[in-house]
Structure 1
Amino acid sequence: MRCQETKEEEQMILLAETKECSVFQMKNDTGEGIMTMYQVFPGVSISYNDYHMESFDSTYNTNRNMFCIDHCREGRLEYATTQKAFSYFEAGDLKLDRRITHQGHFEFPLAHYHGLMITFDMDQAEITLKKEIKDFPVNLISLQKKFCKGNQPVVIHNAPAIEHIFSELYMVPEKIRIPYFKIKIFELLLYLDVLELPKNLEEKPYFYKNQVEKIKAMQNIMIGNLEKHYTQEELSEHFNIPLTPMKNCFKNVYGSPINTYMRVYRMNQAAVLLKKQSHMSITDIAGKVGYDSPGKFSAAFKKVIGKSPLEYRKIFGPNGIK
C-alpha cells in the first residue's frame, strides 16, 4: 500500500514495483533512505525503513482513518511534541499513532534509523481482517481507540514479547514472506489487545527546544575536535546548562552518556582512518582521535570494535583481506 492521498510522494522516488512490493527512495542533502513496502492484505501493509540521513521534512497529510505501528530496531528518531519541545523514539520502542501529527521536521540524531512500520487503513483493514480469520477476537477500531486517544503518538518501551514478535520480522525468507507477515500481524494484534496499559500512560521524557539545541551544539563541538577531551563540567559551564539536566538530555538525544558516545564515535572514526589511510601509523591515528597513549587507544578500540587496531587494519585496510 503506497502512502495514500499525501504530498509525501513528492519526496519519494519509486525505484521498483511488483504486485506485492514497492521500493521508494527518500533523498536530501543530509543523506538518503529506502522504504520497502509490502502489501499484506487490502488496507494493511508492512514497510521496512532504512535511513542513513540526519533529518527530513515530512509533508505527510492524509484524510484517511489510519492506525500505524512503528518499531525501531536501530538508531533513534527525534520528533516534536509541541512547537517548543521534543521527544525521542529509540531501539526497542513501539510507537502507535494515527499519523495526525506526521508533518514537519524530523531528525535522526545518530544519522541512521532502521525499523518497520505496520499501517492499517481502517476502512479497508477492518473488513479484510474479519474475512481472513472468522471470529477473530480483536476489534481493530477498539484497538485504535485504546492506543490513539490523543493526537500525539503513544510510545511503549520494553514491553514483554515486543522483541520476540518483531525480531522475527527482520529475517523472513522471501519464499514465505507474505503468508508469514499475515501470521505475525495477527499475533501482534492479539498481543496489543491484551497488553495492559497504566491508567496514566507515561510518555517519553520531553526536552525543550533551546535545551536540545545546546546539546546538539555541544556534540558538534566535541566531534569537530576529537583531539581534545572536554570535561563535562567545562561543557556545562560553556553552554550554561546545569550538569544533571545536561547529562540527561544528552543521553535522550543521542542514546548514551556523553563519555560513552564520544568513545564509540572516536573509535568509529579511527576505524575509517585505519581502512583508508594506509600511510598513517596507529600512533598517528590514536593522536587524531584524542589518545596520546597507543596502548590506551588499542584497548579502547578493541573494546568498541572487537579487534585490535592492527588486526582491523590487516583485515579491512587498503591491503587487507577484505
Structure 2
Amino acid sequence: MKFGIYSSIANPPHGEHLDRCVDQVIAEAQHAEASGFDSCFFGEHHQDKDGFLPSPLIVATAVAAQTQTLNVGTSVILLPLHHPVHVAEDVTTLDIVSKGRIMLGVGVGYQAADFRAFGLSMADRAARFEESVEIIRKCWTGEPFSFHGNHFTLEDVQILPKPFQNPSPPLWIGASVPSAVRRAGRLGDAFVSTPSTTLADTVRTIDIYRQAAQEAGREPQVILMRDAWVASSRAEAEAVYGPEVMAAYRYYWENQLSEFKGMAESEFTLDNVARDRIILGEPETCIREFHRWHEATGADYFLLRLRHAHSGGPAHDKIMSAIRLFGEGVIPYCE
C-alpha cells in the first residue's frame, strides 16, 4: 500500500497569520516525505468562509520546490471553472519543474458559490468537464489538434513542451454520486473516493466505478481518500482529531450530503459516525483497519485527510506527531 496526505490552508484559527499556515503545510509535506508517505494533495474551493485553497496548483508547486521525492497533486481541481488549455499548460509546467511528480485530480464540483464566483451555471458542469478532460489529454500529446464542442472551440492548437511524464501525468477523477463515478470509470486513470462514506457505501461505489472502467477498456485504479488519525491511544486520537473531523461532517450534514442525509441530531456523534467510516486509534488498530479496507475494496492507495479546513486544525504540532507515528508505526506494516 501507498499513503498520501491531503492538506488545506484554512482561515487560520487563534489569530495566526495565513503565511504561517502555508509554512506549516510545507513543513508537514517535508515531514511526510521523510516518514515514508508517497504524496501530498490539495483541493479547491472559492468564496469559502473557511478559506479553502482557491489555487491548489500554486501551493503544490511550493511543496514540490521544498521536497525531493514526494509526489504532489490536486484532489480536486474544479475543472468546469477553468479553461482546459490553461490547466494542461500549468500541470505540464509543474510536471517539468518537479521532474514528474504531479498527479492531476479533477472533479465537477458541488458548491454553488464556486460557480457564482466565475459567473458559470452548475447546469453545464458535467458537459464542460467531459470536454475539458478530452482537451487536456489532446494538449498533453504535443501534437496539433482542433476541437469543436458545445462549450469549447479550438483551432490548430499545439501545446509544447510535452509533459515530463510519459505519456502524461496521471489524471484522477474524484466523484461520489453514481453518474459521476461512472464518468470517472470512462474517462479517468483512477477514481478518488469520498472520505466520509462508510465501508459498505464505498464498496458499492467502487463496484460501479470498476464496471464502467472495464466497459471503457481502462484498468481500474482506486484511491481511497479517508479521514484518519493515529495516536498512542484511541482516547487521545478522539480528543485531538474528533472535534476537527466532526466540524467537517457537520458541514456535510447541514448541507444534506448523501452520506449524512436523514441523520437525526441525536445520531450525530463521533461514536456513531466513526464506525466503519473513520480510521482512528493506536497504530495496531490503524494497521488492522487499513488491511480491512484494502481487502474489502482492492485499493492499495490511501489519501489521508489529516488537516481540516472547516476547523483549521488539528494543531500543526499534533499533525506532525501523527505523520511521524504513521511513518514509524503504521506504513511499514501495510506493505
Q: Shared fold by TM > 0.5? A: no
Higher relative contact order (CA 8 A, sep 6+): 2
TM-score, normalised relative to structure 1: 0.23
Give the number of the structure whose residues are more often strand, by fraction: 1
TM-score, normalised relative to structure 2: 0.22
Give the number of the structure whose residues are more often helix, by fraction: 2
